[in-house]
Structure 1
Amino acid sequence: MLPNTPETRLAGLGIALPTSAPSPIGSFRNVRRSGGMIYVSGQGPVRADGTLMRGKVGRDVTAEEARDHAELVAINILTALRDCFGSLDRVGGVVKLLGMVNADPDFERHPFVVDGASDLLARIFGESGIHARSAFGVGSLPNQITVEIEAIFEAADQR
């Protein structure tokens, strides 16, 4: 029997991460470790081919579509972590997410949208994937993407 690790859970779900994370669009890096904490800069819903998921949630994009976009963001977060550390098994768990939804002013389902990322991370990291979180709507996001999520993780060697 295979060990129950983030990498084996990811494989068991049939999820293949892109070969590399999207490049930052500014003067920052995707991942920075400080002591036992790992900070992942805001990631967006970018497909492996570079396609951006764009639009205003509640007007151009449904909450269900945006939830799928948030799951794609989680995949990009995982890819950035693997790029930095070589394996998700070096990550001990998820501490906190900050989810921003490019939403119509009347849209109210921000937590539902960001659950797309939260649920996937919980499946990958198990109990240590259950995290603290904030989710809210914003008037716009870079390149008019639908969702941006930043994350804080704990390193496995700190547990």
Structure 2
Amino acid sequence: MIKRITEEKSGLNNLTPEERLKSLDLELPAVAGSVGNYAPWVEVNGMIYTSGQLPWIDGDMKYSGKLGDKLTVEDGYESFKISALNAIAQLKDAVGELSRIKRIVRLEGSVQATADFTDQPNALDGASELVNYVFGDKGRHSRMVYTDPGMCLDCTTLVVLWAEIEKEKELT
């Protein structure tokens, strides 16, 4: 059974995204470097686009292999949650404070799965529910899930976030 992230409205509206993470007993990991010749994130016209973030914990791949083989939808949910946590860490690296995020615009997930696995949306909820909880109403996003029979480094999941940022206030 999936242990879902649920939001209790009372008391969370006044918390920063970092405080919301702490309320889940989660800390942002150190940002992962790229595993190829690309940037982990880029900013264009007030939007941050992260590169694909994997389910790394302290440099180790927490989930590898295919959903529908030895891994369950519950494993996929947890793997997507970790991948999303790494994507949020990239956003923080890009903007300094997560409260500068005006809106999460899009979440894209890729999952390594067998041909007969069809529960990708429930697995991807691990990422969506974490993002929605951390950013509140600003976290509501569009999304897409892709299935791949073979993923880089044999990772189970990968998450990409697109985020609109608040403009920095000019000093007068």
Indicate whether the TM-score tops 0.5.
yes
Q: Which residue of 1 aligns with 2:158?
A: 148
Q: Which residue of 2 aligns with 1:24?
A: 34
**CA RMSD of the aligned region, Å?**
1.7
TM-score (structure 2 length as normaliser)? 0.85
Q: Which residue of 2 aligns with 1:38?
A: 48
Which one has a larger percent helix, Structure 1 or Structure 2? 1
Q: Is 2:133 the partner of 1:123?
A: yes
Q: Which residue of 1 aligns with 2:15?
A: 4
Conserved? CA contact 2:48–2:94, under 8 Å: no
Conserved? CA contact 2:61–2:155, under 8 Å: no
Q: Which residue of 1 aligns with 2:7?
A: none
Residue of structure 2 aligned with 1:100, choices 110, 123, 126: 110
Deviations 1:36-82 (A, max 9, x none): 11101111111124234101111021110111000001110111112
- CA–CA distance in structure 1, aligned partners of residues 87 and 58 of structure 2: 13
Q: Which residue of 2 aligns with 1:13?
A: 24
Number of matched pairs:
157
- CA drift of 1:21 comes to 1.3
Aligned to 1:157, the other structure's residue is in SS state coil
- CA–CA distance in structure 2, aligned partners of residues 21 and 50 of structure 1: 13
Task: Name the amino acid aligned to 1:53.
Answer: Y
- CA–CA distance in structure 1, aligned partners of residues 131 and 102 of structure 2: 12
Q: Which structure 2 segments of 5+ residues have no match?
A: 1-10
- CA–CA distance in structure 2, aligned partners of residues 5 and 92 of structure 1: 12
Conserved? CA contact 1:111–1:136, under 8 Å: no
- CA drift of 1:5 comes to 2.2
TM-score (structure 1 length as normaliser)? 0.91
Task: Name the amino acid aligned to 1:76.
Answer: N
Q: Which residue of 2 aligns with 1:132?
A: 142
Q: Which residue of 2 aligns with 1:90?
A: 100
Conserved? CA contact 2:54–2:86, under 8 Å: yes
